[in-house]
Structure 1
Amino acid sequence: MTKFDEQLKFKSGVTLRNRIVMSPMTTQQSFYNGTVTRDEIQYYANRASGLGAVITGAANVQDGGKGWPGELSIAHDDMIPELGALARAIQAKGAKAFVQIFHAGRMTNRATLSGEQTVSASAVAAPRPGAETPRAMTVDEIHATVVAFGEATRRAIQAGFDGVELHGANTYLIQQFFSQHSNRRTDDYGGDRQRRYRFIRELLDSVFAAVDKYADRPFLVGYRVSPEEFETPGIRFDDTLWLLAQLRETRLDYIHLSQNDYNRVARADDYQDQSILAYVHEALQGKLPLIGVGGVRTRQDVTNVLQNAEVVAVGQQLLFDPTWAVKLAQDADDAMLSVPFKEAVKFVPLNKPLHDFVAARY
């Protein structure tokens, strides 16, 4: 069985010193325009020690793709210097630096977008309280967004990052194009699975074109996916297995499964015999490494995930226990934070924007 302290070399040539990575998490620490702050740089640097890689929180590729206040942005060239400082701070601790790139689509609001209407594949509101109805993107806008993901990849390369992760999960725009709930289009970007996959395929083409043109070193491209939607109609586990069958034949370096419990079982009746993580691992057929995530707090959790994945992503535990990965490597398990996170909020020092966000959540 894979051990967490083993190296992993991806097909791109990027090599992790171990199999533990920091999961992308919202921190709301960027400036109003998405520029990286000193607090944000220090936050990631404090958690990079002992990790194979850090995946930053989502960075929007266009101003209209901003999902929330304090969100990181990679939409403009003048952001490259601060992005570079962030990448170097992570790398100085021995970890690879990956930036997650995304567009929020309908999962935002006019207030966040300075009065602009949200956009999505179709003019269908998300099934959540207070959701605004988006405007369906024109074909020209779709093409511009595809280009924007490529340009964001270029900026990541020029800033010195080791890779990008496409955020195709958590109901944001990439997922919205693949979902039958948010995509009701009747043109070439909507309809059956193959047509709803077109946006993803074009994004991958754009991103890899940027890698081929600008990268002068190994540069990784990963993809994050959510396995199921609760909406009707929506993405079912069969749809995700179909999507994975497409993605495993691409140049991607890994698939990152997004879920809050690595033991979670699918809602679909036909997939009850093992965890979603196990089914996804089988579906990839060894062609792409899988990053497993969801409630990892202990050494046993790491061992459990690595039974059905090549890499373990750790989120909340690192948020409240910044040196957790070092403790894992040094067999200092007794020093790991073990109290409920709602208790940890009361005594773990976090800067004010992040503390307020976390306190409201827990």
Structure 2
Amino acid sequence: MVDYQFLNAFKFKTGLTLKNRVVMSPMTTMTSFYNGMVSTDEVNYYAARAAGLGMVITGVANVTESGKGFEGELSVASDEMIPGLQRLANAIHQNGTKAILQIFHAGRKSNHKILRGEEPVSASAIAASHPADSEIPRALSNKEILHIIDSFGQATQRAITAGFDGVELHGANTYLLQQFFSPNSNQRNDDWGGNRQKRMRFSMAVINETLKIAKKSPRPFVVGYRISPEEIETPGIRLADSLYFVDQIKDLVNYVHLSMGSYKRTSLNDKTNTQTILSQFAELTKEHLPLIGVGSVEKASDANAVLADGADLVALGRELLREPQWVQKVIAGDEESIRNTISPVDMNELAIPSVMQVYLQTAFKSVMNFTTDPNAPVDYQNTLAPMEGGKKEH
């Protein structure tokens, strides 16, 4: 067996130790019950993939009912959710794997149907540029903003109670945390908007509230932050903005997780910047906090390349749908048997929930490497992928 660095253990400053550096990237299952409670299909899906990994990050869980972004979404908005979340954490914990609950508020990436007649909310009353039928959200009041910040703290406490080892703040893929930082979606003229520093205020308040609660955990607990490096809209977040953001939080949170369709990506907006985005963030985070690299990691050589480019941990998403035993096969020296394609016929056997199967074969078809798809897989090195908030999305 090749001596791969990603199979080495890793320890966070909080004391949380991972048996290896391979992470399951958060992926939407759309399989929770109508009210956000965990379903058995969801538990089985994670259980089928968790054992070999160092850490599993769940798909998003909303922190308030107004934060729901799609049907079948996990929720951590009330204490009623704790028993189901406990089952989920237990399923992930097999063989010492650590469990991270990703938490968020969808903001304007929702609609009145999903919110049962309520208007979506955001930093400003500006509709998203895509999909074309995006609804104009209602601008949040100061009181509502403070309530959402508090809700992130309450969600963190529920994650601790349910037995998770950390939370990841989803500040990527054009959801509310990103909406407040973006000059595209945040055009407020109060203390929550304006220049770049003021647009950071909401994210910083959420981070600080979450950290305050995390410190009360009786066991090692981490708080991570996921970020999308760039937006393609004008005005919008540029790479320099995201590097600035990470520079401000690098001594606060416990890790930073990039959201990109390809780990090889260079800037989408500045074609003169030919350095990989991953390595540019690594220069900032080195010796401060761990960086999770991600994006089209399929083979062990890809995982190696991510660490060689400066990441401390490597996340696999779609590849773990195709190959739940990825880590075990690498450890066994059986890399030739790792599946980099997936047959629709095998999805039940792979414990992929039925509703998830539908959108993988529709909105996400171009990124899944289906054996029945005559088209070559789309390379997301130079464009946004659907899971990043690109134009093809659920």
CA distance in 2, matches of 1:210, 1:338: 40
Q: Find the counterpart in structure 1 of residue 303 from structure 2.
A: 302
Q: Find the counterpart in structure 1 of residue 85 from structure 2.
A: 83
Divergent runs of 4+, >6 A: none
The one-letter code of the counterpart of 2:300 is R
Is 2:144 aligned against 1:145? no
**How many residue pairs end up in the alignment?**
357
Provide the alpha-carbon RMSD of the alignment.
1.3
CA distance in 1, matches of 2:118, 2:143: 18
Name whichever of 315-324 and 154-163 sits farther off. 315-324
Mapping of residues 88-127 of structure 1, within 5 Å: 88-127=90-129
Q: SS in structure 1 opposite 2:212?
A: helix
The Cα shift of 1:333 comes to 0.6
Is 2:225 aligned against 1:226? no
Q: Is contact 1:120-1:137 (8 Å) kept?
A: yes
CA distance in 2, matches of 1:281, 1:260: 17
Structure 1 2/245 Cα, relative in aligned 2: closer, same or farther at 3 Å? Answer: farther
The one-letter code of the counterpart of 1:134 is P
The Cα shift of 1:60 comes to 0.3
CA distance in 2, matches of 1:270, 1:11: 36
The one-letter code of the counterpart of 1:262 is Y
The Cα shift of 1:323 comes to 1.1
Q: Find the counterpart in structure 1 of residue 161 from structure 2.
A: 158
Which of 181, 185, 205 lines up with 2:184 in the alignment?
181
The Cα shift of 1:160 comes to 0.4
Q: Find the counterpart in structure 1 of residue 139 from structure 2.
A: 136
Q: Is contact 1:180-1:234 (8 Å) kept?
A: yes
Q: Find the counterpart in structure 1 of residue 347 from structure 2.
A: 348
Is 2:321 aligned against 1:284? no
The Cα shift of 1:271 comes to 5.9
Is 2:212 aligned against 1:209? yes
The Cα shift of 1:270 comes to 7.4
- Once the two structures are superposed, residues 22-49 of structure 1 have per-residue CA deviations (whole angstroms, 9 ceiling, x without a partner) of 0000011100000001110110010002
The Cα shift of 1:286 comes to 2.4
The one-letter code of the counterpart of 1:168 is G
Mapping of residues 195-344 of structure 1, within 5 Å: 195-213=198-216, 215-250=217-252, 252-269=253-270, 272-307=273-308, 308-339=310-341, 341=342, 344=343
The one-letter code of the counterpart of 1:348 is M
Q: Is contact 2:108-2:137 (8 Å) kept?
A: yes
CA distance in 1, matches of 2:270, 2:42: 43
The Cα shift of 1:94 comes to 2.1
Q: SS in structure 2 opposite 1:145?
A: helix
The one-letter code of the counterpart of 2:78 is H
The Cα shift of 1:273 comes to 3.0
CA distance in 2, matches of 1:7, 1:316: 23
CA distance in 2, matches of 1:25, 1:246: 27
> Scaled by the length of structure 2, what TM-score is found?
0.88
CA distance in 2, matches of 1:76, 1:332: 44
CA distance in 2, matches of 1:327, 1:310: 21
Q: SS in structure 2 opposite 1:68?
A: coil
Q: Is contact 1:27-1:357 (8 Å) kept?
A: no
CA distance in 2, matches of 1:21, 1:170: 19
The one-letter code of the counterpart of 2:347 is V
Q: SS in structure 1 opposite 2:100?
A: strand
Q: SS in structure 2 opposite 1:176?
A: helix
CA distance in 2, matches of 1:261, 1:135: 34
Identity across matched positions, percent: 49
The one-letter code of the counterpart of 2:151 is A
The one-letter code of the counterpart of 1:309 is A
Q: Is contact 1:45-1:93 (8 Å) kept?
A: no
Is 2:14 aligned against 1:12? yes
CA distance in 2, matches of 1:24, 1:266: 23
Q: Is contact 2:323-2:340 (8 Å) kept?
A: no
CA distance in 1, matches of 2:297, 2:286: 24
